[in-house]
Amino acid sequence: MTIERTLILVKPDGVRRALIGEIIRRIEAKGYQIVALKSMSADRDLLAQHYAEHQGKPFFEPLVEFMLSGPIVAIVAEGNRVIEGFRSIAGTTDPTVAAAGTIRGDLARDQGTTVTQNLVHGSDSPESATREISIFFPEL
């Protein structure tokens, strides 16, 4: 058994498009448990920490601006291999080619923006999950 936790974010495009419920539905339908959830507005400091690995990349500043463009929903989900499992139901980064049946493949597309708007974030490793959960849910 590898019970893990992962950090999931519904990005501002997902909130604007009223897809919070649909995204949570898919997480729960897959069988993962929601253990923490909050609607919030990120600030620049929090996003710089969260996206530290992308600092210096051409899409970093647009990414931060996009993530500041409206409220987000932060979620901690739990289950065996949930880190890998949520990445699988989210689909690949580029929504144009993300597989049908995934959140990004079914619900997102290229909007012609500098930063890819792809509805959700999911931690990519146990180390990232621990780090990201402590940024968004220091109380956990």
Cα separation of 70 and 57, whole Å? 22
Which residue's beta carbon is nearest to the bound Mg ion? Answer: 124
CB 4 within 8 A of CB 80: yes
> Hey, which residues between 98 and 127 contact Mg ion (CB under 5 A)?
124
Binding residues for ligand IDP, rule: CB under 6 A, are 54, 59, 63, 93, 115-116, 118, 121, 124
Distance in Å, CB of 36 to ligand IDP, minimum? 20
Q: What is the phi/psi pair of residue 88, to 5°?
A: -70, -45
Residues near Mg ion (CB under 5 A), total: 1
Question: Which contacts of 90-99 are long-range, i.e. CB under 8 A and separated by 24 or more positions?
Answer: 90/120, 90/122, 93/118, 94/118, 95/119
CB-nearer residue toward Mg ion: 61 or 139: 61
Query: Nearest distance from residue 116's CB to ligand IDP, in Å?
Result: 4
